[in-house]
Structure 1
Amino acid sequence: MESPLQKAFSSDSFRQQAHTLVDLLADYLEQVQSGSLETVIPYKDPEENLTFWQEDYEQGQGDVTEFFRKTINHSIHLHHPRYMGHQVTPPVPVSALAGMLTGLLNNGMAVYEMGLVSNPLERILSELLAQKIGFDNHANGLLTSGGTLANLTALLAARAAKTDVWENGNTEHLAVMVSEEAHYCIDRAARIMGMGSEGIIKVPTNERLQIRTNLLEQYYQEATDKGLQVIAIVGSACSTSTGSYDDLEAIAAFAQKHQLWFHADGAHGGAVVFSDRYKHLIKGMNQADSVVIDWHKMLMAPALTTALIFKRGDDAFKTFQQKAQYLWANQHSKDWFNSGKRTFECTKLMMSVKVYAILKAHGEQIFTDNVEYLYDLGKTFATLVKARPNFELALEPESNIVCFRLLHESASLNELNANIRKRILEEGKFYIVQTTLGDKLYLRVSIMNPLTTETDLVALLDEVERLGKVVAS
């Protein structure tokens, strides 16, 4: 008789459950594409959702298929064409299959013998991105779990290149320069590194919410006059709120003049390295010391899969230098195949397998097609907004992120649009978010799904107008 442990590892049971799950997911994909699944987000308030899952837990052991079905039904549907919210991709199905594969194999990556497949694939993917950025063959990089962790790792490398904090601790008051529109994780990283509020030099933006490069010299001099040692400057490619690209060429020239580390945060918009049509937006990125690009945004891999590429591959090894005799014999050797020397993560997921599966199944062109379709659709949506006199476009989009709002003579526009967004969330037919630019609240869409069409965008504007009348009355 099988023990409970033996039964848990039964190949027959796994085969049956896996087939059932694939059928459920295939049905889900068919429903969201055919339009038979009307709801994008089955929204419930947090306490109601908690109660639902507590009751499920209290039922004890049961049919795992039913749990899978509940998970699908109670989740937000990123593959739905009317999902236009946060910057998370609907993954290509083959990458989800790779996720099942790697989830079962569960190979770590810190040392080569634990990552026999994923370490070489990670190098191949890093070299692919380095080549696309325009780096030479001295460049290299790594994958890590998300842009926040990648940006922190890049700034730690910048600190290691400019100071000897690792051995001697903080002896200077260090600082980094960023746009006031930079992603919040840059601010968080600087604080984690002990720079404090004063060490985060936030440079104002222009009317397009791009860093004002004409102010860089002034802000740098003010910082040095205060006794701060500026070690790095960060360029956004693109900003999170509006999808605007900083002038990376001007930032590169400034960084070179003052011998600063130049880091380009291309977590979202760096994907245009695959597009000849839009690559001009990142002109100057090839002069950066480090670059972050998320595979899990417009490059269609499951979250979290972020690339951190160094112009000089050896810089990746300066961040973490410590002994771990049970992992590797020589702490100072630059082993690309022992990824634990370059990242926070030790037992790292086999994330490279998920990206590589997309390349093997569909080729590099799928990245180009996706980026260009989404960016083109962003321009189309802006045109649709401008064609309606009762809408206001925040600014002409450079990417697939578009900010707009409904106008009304008798209403507080911030309150009106916030309530429209609340109604959209509760009704669940669309999913969009909101952002505040200056003192104005805007509705914000990130067009992430290649299954979204102009028809869906027209329907969104119609829905916003309808709800605007309901809210205003």
Structure 2
Amino acid sequence: MNDSLIAAYSSETFRRQAHALVDLLADHLDTAEKAEQPVLPYAEPDEQLAYWEADFQKPANDDPLPLLADIVQRSIHLHNPRFMGHQVAPPLPLAAMTGMLTGLLNNGMAVYEMGMTANALERIVTQWLARKMNFGDNASGVLTSGGTLANLTALLTARAVTAPTDVWEAGHTTRLAIMVSEEAHYCVDRAARIMGLGSEGIIKIPTNDRFQMRTELLENYLEQAKAAGLTVFAVVGSACSTSTGSYDNLVAIANFCQKHKLWFHVDGAHGGAVVLSNKYRSLVQGIERADSVVIDFHKMMMIPALVTAVLYQRDADSYQTFQQKAQYLWADATAKDWFNSGKRAFECTKLMMSVKIYTVLRTYGEEIFTANVETLYGLAQRFANLVRHRPDFELAVEPESNIVCFRYLGGAHMPAELDALNTRLRDRLLKNGRVYIVQTTLRGRVYLRVSLMNPLTTDVQLEELLEQIHQISVNYLPTL
């Protein structure tokens, strides 16, 4: 036997290194949550690459802790309450710890015997969430790796169920199309193109002044599509949109889909979690009538990326998505057996995603998810109020979620000047590293954008953000 392999698999070595890693990460959490370090130690891409290229040339070291500490130090710190950038949650420590367990067990889930526990827990978790959406008794779903893959999976199901021919076997025999808000996440556009719909097959519906789909235009756009020889098979509602966090009118979309016998899909990757909050549930009224919904656990539900639920009103629909024979995996490819998740999910060797969610539910109860949604949505309302009370700032739109778009006015007056000013302010914030926000473009104009993902962020830190932007403008305006 090879001595190096024996040493690498040593349980005692693992015990020692894992304890050291937990201590390192606990110290990181302590300093990050107290905002005692920058959100990110920014380095230019070439500088970062050069650093790790030099590190790669170093001799092997049987103590991985210095390397792991370096990776922590040179990464963005989502647990810092001044992280207000992208829609990625600071994971619950318990969920991250569970990730160590699933990483070591490494059970795939395509076939039951390789993922006995994980498949059973996935069934429980998806049915629990489907009930929270008030789906019927026949509802269930699958877990997959992120919103992009989840939306693609749901739309593939929609095509398989509604297409006039068997697309899986015969390919496209008609020109298919979907209808979606112009503010929808880019992954819906990407999914449609992957499916071969082309640019004409993605019918983008204009939005109103709140960046919500103008559902009164659906009838007209459907008639135009028919006249162009397109067969619309699905409509996608956003809950919520990525740029502004605005919710489409799901009731109106549901009515339209019911009238025309179209598949109703809801991209609830970010905002679908409000089904767990009585306070904010009205934002997704109508979601219970959807044929399919996706919800990311790694956004509003504090699970490490990537974990996304694809939920179906009718569980049987999910078996039509991927209709392949794989004799070495299962004897009967047509059997609707929930315990072989490879029949319904894109992945074969899928991670044990359900274990993280189930562990959190069994430890804290679903109330932990409710508390997070309501804390972050409330924080956004208070931040919007701070912006409203400062004459040197303006909101793009009243926020419906934990996403707030705003811009600094300063002394600029022309639109191009405002765009340049806010772009450079964001760049200065990025290089400074003390706080992390992003920017977006709305109706062709540049706005600063925060996604309040950390429940430990305080009103004081939000006030400091606005003041820091103001001070940067005052101190650097001649150079901006």
Query: Under a length normalisation based on structure 2, what TM-score does the superposition of the two structures give?
Result: 0.97
2:361 to 344, 347, 359: 359
Residues 215-266 of structure 1, C-alpha deviation per residue, up to 9 Å, x if partnerless?
0000000000101000000000000000000000000000011110000000
Q: Secondary structure at the match of 1:87?
A: coil
Q: Does 1:433 align with 2:435?
A: no
Distance across 1 between alignment mates of 2:412 and 2:108: 59
Residues 83-115 of structure 1, C-alpha deviation per residue, up to 9 Å, x if partnerless?
000000000000011000000000000000000
Q: Does 1:333 align with 2:332?
A: no
| Matches for 1:127-146 after TM superposition, within 5 Å | 127-146=127-146
2:305 — aligned with what?
A: 303
1:54 — aligned with what?
A: 53
2:238 — aligned with what?
A: 236
1:87 — aligned with what?
A: 87
| Matches for 1:121-200 after TM superposition, within 5 Å | 121-163=121-163, 164-200=166-202
Q: Secondary structure at the match of 1:122?
A: helix
Q: Secondary structure at the match of 1:385?
A: helix
Distance across 2 between alignment mates of 1:41 and 1:336: 43
Q: Secondary structure at the match of 2:448?
A: strand
2:227 — aligned with what?
A: 225
Q: Secondary structure at the match of 2:116?
A: coil
2:463 to 437, 443, 458: 458
Moved more, 292-301 or 401-410: 401-410
Assess if the C-alpha contact under 8 Å between 1:420 and 1:471 holds in 2: no
1:70 — aligned with what?
A: 70
Residue 182 of structure 1, CA deviation: 0.4
Gaps of 5+ in 1: none
Assess if the C-alpha contact under 8 Å between 2:297 and 2:309 holds in 1: yes
Residues 407-455 of structure 1, C-alpha deviation per residue, up to 9 Å, x if partnerless?
0234610000000000000000000000000121000000000110101
Q: Does 1:284 align with 2:283?
A: no
Distance across 1 between alignment mates of 2:221 and 2:388: 37
Q: Structure 1 residue runs of 4+, over 6 Å off? A: none
Distance across 2 between alignment mates of 1:436 and 1:93: 34
Residue 60 of structure 1, CA deviation: 2.5
1:18 — aligned with what?
A: 18
Residue 357 of structure 1, CA deviation: 1.4
Q: Does 1:264 align with 2:266?
A: yes
Distance across 2 between alignment mates of 1:33 and 1:247: 37
2:424 to 419, 423, 427: 419
Assess if the C-alpha contact under 8 Å between 1:84 and 1:447 holds in 2: yes
| Residue identity opposite 1:470 in structure 2 | N
Count of residue pairs the alignment pairs up? 472
Distance across 2 between alignment mates of 1:345 and 1:398: 34
| Residue identity opposite 1:197 in structure 2 | S
Q: Secondary structure at the match of 2:143?
A: strand
Residue 36 of structure 1, CA deviation: 2.4
Residues 377-427 of structure 1, C-alpha deviation per residue, up to 9 Å, x if partnerless?
000000000000010100100000000000023461000000000000000
Distance across 1 between alignment mates of 2:334 and 2:343: 9
Assess if the C-alpha contact under 8 Å between 1:108 and 1:349 holds in 2: yes
Q: Does 1:467 align with 2:469?
A: no
| Matches for 1:363-374 after TM superposition, within 5 Å | 363-374=365-376
| Residue identity opposite 2:157 in structure 1 | A
Q: Secondary structure at the match of 2:142?
A: strand
Q: Secondary structure at the match of 1:117?
A: helix
Residues 18-61 of structure 1, C-alpha deviation per residue, up to 9 Å, x if partnerless?
00000000000111123322x00111000000011111110021
Q: Secondary structure at the match of 1:177?
A: strand
Residues 358-384 of structure 1, C-alpha deviation per residue, up to 9 Å, x if partnerless?
112211100000000000000000000
Percent of aligned pairs sharing the same letter = 60
Q: Secondary structure at the match of 1:408?
A: coil
Q: Secondary structure at the match of 1:441?
A: strand
Gaps of 5+ in 2: none
Distance across 2 between alignment mates of 1:210 and 1:360: 37
Distance across 2 between alignment mates of 1:414 and 1:2: 62
Assess if the C-alpha contact under 8 Å between 2:297 and 2:303 holds in 1: yes
1:315 — aligned with what?
A: 317
Distance across 1 between alignment mates of 2:461 and 2:255: 42
Distance across 2 between alignment mates of 1:93 and 1:123: 24
Distance across 2 between alignment mates of 1:376 and 1:346: 40
1:247 — aligned with what?
A: 249
| Residue identity opposite 1:380 in structure 2 | R
Q: Does 1:442 align with 2:447?
A: yes
Residue 2 of structure 1, CA deviation: 6.7
| Matches for 1:38-49 after TM superposition, within 5 Å | 39-49=38-48
2:104 — aligned with what?
A: 104
Distance across 2 between alignment mates of 1:171 and 1:213: 29
| Residue identity opposite 2:141 in structure 1 | G
Q: Secondary structure at the match of 2:190?
A: helix
| Residue identity opposite 2:181 in structure 1 | S
Assess if the C-alpha contact under 8 Å between 2:35 and 2:82 holds in 1: no
Distance across 1 between alignment mates of 2:267 and 2:468: 34
2:33 — aligned with what?
A: 33
Assess if the C-alpha contact under 8 Å between 1:416 and 1:471 holds in 2: no
Assess if the C-alpha contact under 8 Å between 2:127 and 2:141 holds in 1: yes
Assess if the C-alpha contact under 8 Å between 1:252 and 1:288 holds in 2: yes
| Residue identity opposite 2:59 in structure 1 | G
| Residue identity opposite 1:447 in structure 2 | L
| Residue identity opposite 1:50 in structure 2 | L
| Residue identity opposite 1:42 in structure 2 | P
Q: Secondary structure at the match of 1:367?
A: helix
| Residue identity opposite 2:311 in structure 1 | I
**Backbone CA RMSD of aligned residues:** 0.9
Assess if the C-alpha contact under 8 Å between 2:34 and 2:80 holds in 1: no
Assess if the C-alpha contact under 8 Å between 2:175 and 2:197 holds in 1: yes
Assess if the C-alpha contact under 8 Å between 2:210 and 2:397 holds in 1: yes
Distance across 1 between alignment mates of 2:300 and 2:57: 39
| Residue identity opposite 2:195 in structure 1 | M
